[in-house]
Amino acid sequence: MPGNLSFDALKAMVADGRIDTVIAAIPDMQGRLMGKRFQAEYFVESAHAETHCCNYLLATDMEMNTVEGYAATSWSKGYGDYTMRPDLATLRLIPWLEGTALVLGDLVDHHDHQLIPHAPRTILKRQIDRLEALGLSSAAATELEFFVFRETFDELRDMGYRDMSVISPYNEDYHIFQTTKEEGLMRAIRTGLTGAGVKVENTKGEADAGQAEVNVHYSDALDMADTHVLVKNAVKEIAFLQGRAITFMAKWHHEAAGSSSHIHQSLWTKDGAPAFYDADAPNGMSDLMRHYMAGLLSYSSDVTYFLAPYVNSYKRFAKGTFAPTRAIWSTDNRTAGYRVCAPGTKAVRVECRIGGSDLNPYLALAAQIAAGIAGIEQKLDLEPEFTGDAYAAQDARAIPANLREAADALDGSTMLRAAMGDAVIDHYVHAARWEQEDFDRKVTDYEVARGFERA
């Protein structure tokens, strides 16, 4: 699902006035799109080659605070520039914004012109390179769940995010009548994304009131990550344009279901054969797939931060909610952290169910690939399949219970340090620990409501 607009076609549409604005964007540490809106004539004249941005874009938190302590950039280093280099293969129309096209790109050092190592897109590219050295490529699909609210973003902000009303009154999982009421928004999302060159499969109601899901066709890992960030941005923009608000928080309310981003993944050979499939093996799972899955399981704690990057992310892992609590594998079992889908067929693959909808897809996919490669290279043996209710498996491998545990596991991961480099891991450990530190010093509504009178 690369972009649907060639550079020559863009130039023609700019010349005849159909396109007047080009958004050039990069994904930041949180997986958000950051960049500039160019007058289209200037973009086709020169900015298509490169532009510049402040290097603090890869050293801020969710609030865009300039967090101290990063080795890559700081006040003492002056917060200089990175070069944004558009990847014209991602150039596409944005139908929901008048006269607009969008292109994603990479961040490079404007002195030596090398990719910035800790940029999310770079991190994923380097894991893809490692796969290619093994004669393999990755196919992936990332599902996205979110909640839709009746109010606008501005109204909810003015309300202090209290007394918010979701768009439906009851669980709408697969519910056609209820989703008919929401079809004005969902149809605009499907058709808008399709017009932007995204191969949308479906939207559906999810497992709680006001919860929805959008599914797009699988692709190679880099294209899937590019598509993922485009989809999230599109859903927010289209909802905004229709006077609705949505959230991709992993757990927006303790009484509501969590929102996930399940990651389906498989490997393919250079000649296009499914490397995970062996017709003669149990469940059709090749030795390569078994080694890859063993890596995912063995290093599940190491990679959890890249699947659950915020304090709130860990509120989602709860018994009986379809969000996993145990990093074990099972065949077609939604209680397990890793589910084997389409067993016995050429489409056999593994679905990681740990990630929330708040993840950064570049980092999540890179970490999954790195763990899988470790399993392949170390020829790790896959543990026996778990059967039954994984929530009841008290002795099974647990998912880290909170951000502190995940940050410690990331910091101590020799596998990820070897795969991504010490500087990259240190950068994201610092991000994780700042996120926890920032939360720890804040007073929450829970504390005030519980203790104001009674403490």
Per residue in 219-263, pLDDT tens? 999 999 999 999 999 999 999 999 999 999 999 999 999 999 999
CA distances from 223 to 51, 197, 227, 271 (A): 22, 12, 6, 19
> Considering the chain, what percentage of its residues have pLDDT values greater than 90?
96
Q: Give the strand order in the sheet containing 219-220.
A: 219-220, 136-142, 263-269, 349-352, 338-341, 329-331
Does 99 have pLDDT greater than 80? yes
**Number of domains present in the structure of the chain:** 3
Helix segments in 207-309, DSSP class H: 221-241, 287-298, 300-307
Instruction: Average the pLDDT over 321-335 and give the result.
Output: 93
Range(s) of the domain holding residue 110: 7-67+81-116
Tens-place pLDDT, residues 53-94: 999 999 999 999 999 999 999 898 889 899 999 999 999 999
State the residue for tokens 């080795």.
Answer: 71
Is there a single domain that holds both residue 292 and residue 364? yes
pLDDT band at 1; cut points 50, 70, 90: low
CATH number at residue 235: 3.30.590.10
Q: What is the pLDDT of residue 433?
A: 98
DSSP for 30-66, written as a single string: TS-EEEEEEEHHHIIIIITT-EEEEGGGGSB-TT--B
Q: Tell me whether residue 136 is in a domain.
A: no
pLDDT band at 21; cut points 50, 70, 90: very high
Q: What is the pLDDT of residue 3?
A: 84
Residue after which a domain boundary falls, among 226, 259, 292:
259
Does 287 have pLDDT greater than 80? yes
Is there a single domain that holds both residue 20 and residue 95? yes
Is there a single domain that holds both residue 253 and residue 286? no
Q: Tell me whether residue 176 is in a domain.
A: yes
> Considering the chain, what percentage of its residues have pLDDT values greater than 70?
100
Q: Tell me whether residue 101 is in a domain.
A: yes
Rounded CA-CA distance 12/185 in Å is 31
CATH number at residue 31: 3.10.20.70
Phi, psi of 209 (to 5 degrees): -65, 125
Rounded CA-CA distance 434/311 in Å is 11
DSSP 88: G
Is there a single domain that holds both residue 91 and residue 231? no
Parallel, antiparallel or unpaired: strands 263-269 and 100-108: unpaired
Is there a single domain that holds both residue 238 and residue 183? yes
**Run of H or E residues at 194:** helix 183-195
Q: Tell me whether residue 127 is in a domain.
A: no
Does 406 have pLDDT greater than 90? yes
Rounded CA-CA distance 72/258 in Å is 34
Residue 454, class by beta-carbon neighbours within 10 Å (0-12 exposed, 13-18 middle, 19+ buried)? exposed
Is there a single domain that holds both residue 96 and residue 15? yes
Length of the chain: 455
Rounded CA-CA distance 97/401 in Å is 41
Helix, coil or strand: residue 110: coil
Q: Which two tokens stand for residue 390?
A: 């994984």
Q: What is the mean pLDDT of the chain?
A: 96
Q: Tell me whether residue 34 is in a domain.
A: yes
Q: Tell me whether residue 75 is in a domain.
A: no
Q: What is the pLDDT of residue 332?
A: 87
Is there a single domain that holds both residue 89 and residue 236? no
Q: Tell me whether residue 138 is in a domain.
A: no
Is there a single domain that holds both residue 187 and residue 309? no
Separation of first and last alpha carbons in the chain: 56
Does 138 have pLDDT greater than 60? yes
Is there a single domain that holds both residue 155 and residue 91? no
User: Which sign, positive or negative, has the C-alpha torsion 304, 306, 311, 313?
Assistant: negative
**Run of H or E residues at 220:** strand 219-220
Is there a single domain that holds both residue 26 and residue 95? yes
Is there a single domain that holds both residue 330 and residue 208? no
- Tell me, what amino acid is at 162? R
Q: What is the pLDDT of residue 110?
A: 85
Is there a single domain that holds both residue 433 and residue 320? yes
pLDDT band at 111; cut points 50, 70, 90: confident
Instruction: Average the pLDDT over 38-47 and give the result.
Output: 97
Q: Tell me whether residue 355 is in a domain.
A: yes
- Tell me, what amino acid is at 224? M
